[in-house]
Structure 1
Amino acid sequence: MNEEAVIYRWVADHLGAHVQRITRQARWRAAWLVDAERDGMPLPLMVRGERGEDIPMQFPLRHEMTLQKTMGEHGIPVPTVYGWIDHLPAYVMARVEGRPGFDGLSTDERDAVMRDYMGTLARLHRLPIEPFEAAGVERARTPAGSGRYGIDRFEQVWRYGKKAPNPLVEFVLGWLKRNPVNTRGRESVIVWDSGQMHQLDGHLVSLLDVEIGHIGDPMMDLAAPRMRDTVLHFGDFGVLYDAYERAGGFLVDVDAVQLHHIAFTLTNELAFRNSLNHPAPESDYMTNLHWCSETNLHAIEALAERLGVDLAPPTIPTVEPSRAATAHQQLIDMLRGTDIADEYAKYRLRIAFRLARYLQREDDIGVASTNADLDDLKPLLGHRPSTWQQGDAELEAFVLADQGAHDEQLCELFYRRQIRHKSALGPPGSAMATHHACQPFPVIGNTATT
């Protein structure tokens, strides 16, 4: 049976419902919107599958389902879990109302939703760990390891599939290992990729997407939203952290939050870079590339903020059209002018359009940008590598041997490289080429926690 037939049969057999429509969601991860009816009442469902074959998950899909189900059993608002479809694989949950952003809400209404959200995180963090661990939710061997368990999983998956140098990742991972978080014994159930929710008419409906949640340091849930805030705009984090404490959460350890923020900025690169190096045909290449480019800049900015380094952007090369420039423009115009009714096919067409614009921009400035990257390496390495492949390999070797002696200089170098890369994702001013910086941290010492 095909995927839709499997879903149709499972819903009928396990929920006693009649499926009226199944729609493949237009996104990078396998998911289906199911409109069903049971006893004359609508039963909207979401079937959530795995990532593409080239993007392994850090925690098994069943782990995600187990965490979500157990959260719901303990009063945390999450979509009801109905069960597991072994043949896909996927799990079935209720499809909740609402939307992820705050469009149409006043600032006061947005703030009320966020107070409720921070209070929900506080309740989650104060739940007993034992029922979750008994259900199979993963945990570090000791509380002292709670702050590294998640990022270690990301690193393990990345290293297993790594087939090319990645000096940026090695630099930031190395810095984090030399500057570990002191969790002070904190442990709780966390969603980690926090800030994902649905609100309806200014009221929190549900927490969503717990795929990397586990038992870890609760400060991780206060760090992760700082990147998503650049898109959704949650409000001032000082105010949000106060709301979390007042709702009964742990005292906020700003030092730990900052270190967890630096670690979380790496997760897109760790999750998607191996796929970008060897993409499967169905891979959403441009979304993955955009996420990595944006959050890699967040990583360098966050580390520079911690080190007190002022970052200066490089000069972006001017456009030098090649012989292929006219053909590139023809392809872009063709893709832009094609209309398709099917939502998933339209999504795939949008990927192709963004890919064409990236290739056009790379054709315009790619050679000059690569040369600038290689020129940048001469003061550090003592010579200029002849190719970008050689440059990446030698820069990674330098980083691994350096052990922190050139942290400030490397921050500046990686920032220039990432700005150049970002500028090649699309034309100036486009969403793909535009960067949004995270809110800065307050300049205060860390506070004790309980």
Structure 2
Amino acid sequence: MSVTPQSPAEKITAWLEAKLGGRVLRISRQSRWRPVWFADLERNGETLALCVRGERTDMPMIFPLDHEMRFQALLQQHGIPVAKVHGWIDDPRAYVMDRVPGSEDFSKSTEEERQAVVDDYLQMLARIHQLPLEPFVAAGIRRAPEPGQSGRIGIQRYEEIYRSRKRNPEPFMEFCLGWLKRHWPDTRGREAPVLWDTGQFHHAGGRIVAALDLELGHLGDPMMDLAGWRIRDTVIGYGDFKRLYGRYEELTGRPVDMDAIRIYYFAFTLTNHLALGAALRDPAPESDLMINLRWCSETDLFATEALAEILGIELAEVAVPAVSPSPVARSHEHLIQSLRQIKTGDDYVNHQLHVAFRLARHLQRHEEIGAALEAADLDDLEALLGQRPSNWQGGEEELERFVLADAGTGQYDRALVPLFYRRNRRAQLLLGPEGSAMTRHFPAQRFDT
């Protein structure tokens, strides 16, 4: 007689009841791209709110999931506000922690509350950066061979994944990596536990409840933490970074290294594309292709804007072409409206339907203006290369060859930065209707203002 295999939720339920005791009252999967389950466990008359965090499905893990768990547990042991870790599950590969209350943004906060929370977060970062290295080393937390390379280990891991999965030309990533390798900052011997993907937390009552999403935590240069959250600031809004950096100096008694922060910020803008580039071209079934495209298009623009500011280049706005008529335009619109109207009682299915709706709008926009934007890209390449590639595939191949030939010197940096900015902005314009959330760009705070 055949036995029906257990679902991931059933396996997690069995683990929770066996290892933590009590009875699982409810468990549900979060309706998003990464396997995460929320569970309520009744034990000794109390209800434990738990989060079970699984491995990513659309990209390899930068550091193993159990590395994230160990890093988080060490922070917890040293009094840093993070979710309490309860243990590791072998199948499905996941770890169990407390589900943290509080708000993830400041949409319902007063200005005074926002400032208090951000200051509390800075105090937390300052404490993390002063923790002893030995317990982290003993737990196998990743570090560079020597402190002078502490700022490189994370981005080098991203590049390893990028190289292992690369099957097509990626001229923009090759250009950015070439520039970065010519301009690595001097760490001046700095090394400390770092979160790297900073700015993620829940807060309540003007205080940090817990720092979240610690998957990139390792031993690095603390200036990386001061750079990373500039990206998330475009949607959260932490305040004036010059003031925040000044406050960090007060808390630590050490000056911030603005030259290093500029480079680390640029490096961090590359991480989405390095990790997800292969998934954009060949998405896995559960991949949220549209959110990945949105993230990569936005951070690609951050990267070009960061280099433009470093090099003193003014970037011109990109024109939106007129819509090209199509014999199937009405059919395409009908598909989009049909997807918009379908609703189910399952949050995960509703999420997948929303992914399909966004994808349909992306394809519709490509049909409307894709040919014009492709022609504009080829115009740019003709001006740079002295000849016009026959199509977009040939254009990518020729541009990557050009970039790789220039990687050692950067002779053409000032020509390539505006070119890549236009290409990246055109790619973003294809993600949805003009003015939609998918196509709006929110520039990051500049360093020179």
In the alignment, what sits opposite 1:71? Answer: 75
Q: Pick closer, same or farther for the CA change 1:271–1:86 going to 2, 3 Å.
A: same
Q: Which of 99, 118, 125 is the matching residue for 1:121?
A: 125
| Amino acid corresponding to residue 49 of structure 2 in structure 1 | P
The aligned length equals: 442
| Amino acid corresponding to residue 436 of structure 1 in structure 2 | F
In the alignment, what sits opposite 2:3? Answer: none
In the alignment, what sits opposite 1:298? Answer: 302
- Contact kept, 8 Å, 1:183 with 1:256, in 2: the verdict is yes
| Amino acid corresponding to residue 436 of structure 2 in structure 1 | S
Q: Which of 300, 320, 335 is the matching residue for 2:324?
A: 320
Q: Which of 37, 57, 63 is the matching residue for 2:61?
A: 57
| Distance in 1 separating the partners of 2:200 and 2:48 | 23
In the alignment, what sits opposite 1:105? Answer: 109
In the alignment, what sits opposite 1:438? Answer: 444
In the alignment, what sits opposite 1:209? Answer: 213
What secondary structure sits across from 1:9 in the alignment? helix
| Distance in 2 separating the partners of 1:250 and 1:347 | 46
- Contact kept, 8 Å, 1:147 with 1:220, in 2: the verdict is yes
1:426 paired to 2:432: yes
Larger mean CA deviation between 321-330 and 88-97 belongs to 321-330
The CA RMSD measured in Å over matched residues stands at 1.0
Q: Which of 404, 409, 415 is the matching residue for 1:409?
A: 415
1:358 paired to 2:362: yes
1:4 paired to 2:9: yes
- Contact kept, 8 Å, 1:224 with 1:264, in 2: the verdict is yes
| Distance in 2 separating the partners of 1:430 and 1:326 | 20
In the alignment, what sits opposite 1:448? Answer: none
* 1:369 Cα deviation after fit: 0.6
What secondary structure sits across from 1:96 in the alignment? coil
* 1:251 Cα deviation after fit: 2.0
In the alignment, what sits opposite 2:135? Answer: 131
* 1:313 Cα deviation after fit: 2.1
- Contact kept, 8 Å, 1:20 with 1:37, in 2: the verdict is yes
| Distance in 1 separating the partners of 2:333 and 2:320 | 21
In the alignment, what sits opposite 1:22? Answer: 27
5+ residue gaps in structure 1? 444-450
Aligned ranges 1:124-273 → 2 under 5 Å: 124-248=128-252, 250-273=254-277
Q: Pick closer, same or farther for the CA change 1:208–1:276 going to 2, 3 Å.
A: same
- Contact kept, 8 Å, 1:125 with 1:249, in 2: the verdict is no
Q: Which of 325, 333, 336 is the matching residue for 2:337?
A: 333
- Contact kept, 8 Å, 1:122 with 1:249, in 2: the verdict is no
- Contact kept, 8 Å, 1:318 with 1:365, in 2: the verdict is yes
In the alignment, what sits opposite 1:380? Answer: 384
1:428-450, Cα deviation, whole Å (9 max, x unpaired): 1111000000000037xxxxxxx
- Contact kept, 8 Å, 1:122 with 1:245, in 2: the verdict is no
Q: Which of 33, 36, 39 is the matching residue for 2:44?
A: 39
| Distance in 1 separating the partners of 2:72 and 2:320 | 45
| Amino acid corresponding to residue 360 of structure 1 in structure 2 | Q
What secondary structure sits across from 1:34 in the alignment? strand
| Distance in 1 separating the partners of 2:162 and 2:198 | 22
| Amino acid corresponding to residue 98 of structure 1 in structure 2 | G
Moved over 6 A (4+): none
What secondary structure sits across from 1:360 in the alignment? helix
What secondary structure sits across from 2:127 in the alignment? helix
Larger mean CA deviation between 256-265 and 418-427 belongs to 418-427
* 1:250 Cα deviation after fit: 4.0
| Distance in 1 separating the partners of 2:215 and 2:306 | 24
- Contact kept, 8 Å, 1:194 with 1:221, in 2: the verdict is yes
1:190-246, Cα deviation, whole Å (9 max, x unpaired): 000000000113321000011011000000000010010000001111111122222
- Contact kept, 8 Å, 1:126 with 1:249, in 2: the verdict is no
1:400-443, Cα deviation, whole Å (9 max, x unpaired): 10130010110010011111111111111111000000000037
Q: Pick closer, same or farther for the CA change 1:430–1:249 going to 2, 3 Å.
A: farther
| Distance in 2 separating the partners of 1:343 and 1:246 | 46
1:249-294, Cα deviation, whole Å (9 max, x unpaired): 6421111000000000000001111111111111110010000000
Q: TM-score, normalised by structure 2?
A: 0.97
What secondary structure sits across from 1:160 in the alignment? helix
In the alignment, what sits opposite 2:93? Answer: 89
Q: Pick closer, same or farther for the CA change 1:377–1:168 going to 2, 3 Å.
A: same
| Distance in 2 separating the partners of 1:51 and 1:24 | 14
* 1:355 Cα deviation after fit: 0.4
What secondary structure sits across from 1:247 in the alignment? helix
1:48 paired to 2:57: no
1:288-332, Cα deviation, whole Å (9 max, x unpaired): 000000000000000111111101123221111312211110011
| Amino acid corresponding to residue 439 of structure 2 in structure 1 | A
Larger mean CA deviation between 99-108 and 122-131 belongs to 99-108
Aligned ranges 1:276-287 → 2 under 5 Å: 276-287=280-291
How many percent identity over aligned positions? Answer: 53
| Amino acid corresponding to residue 424 of structure 1 in structure 2 | L
| Distance in 2 separating the partners of 1:437 and 1:317 | 22
What secondary structure sits across from 1:224 in the alignment? helix
* 1:130 Cα deviation after fit: 0.7
| Distance in 2 separating the partners of 1:341 and 1:287 | 23
| Amino acid corresponding to residue 416 of structure 2 in structure 1 | L
Q: Pick closer, same or farther for the CA change 1:341–1:379 going to 2, 3 Å.
A: same
| Distance in 2 separating the partners of 1:183 and 1:154 | 19
- Contact kept, 8 Å, 1:119 with 1:243, in 2: the verdict is no
Q: TM-score, normalised by structure 1?
A: 0.97
In the alignment, what sits opposite 1:13? Answer: 18
Q: Pick closer, same or farther for the CA change 1:249–1:63 going to 2, 3 Å.
A: farther
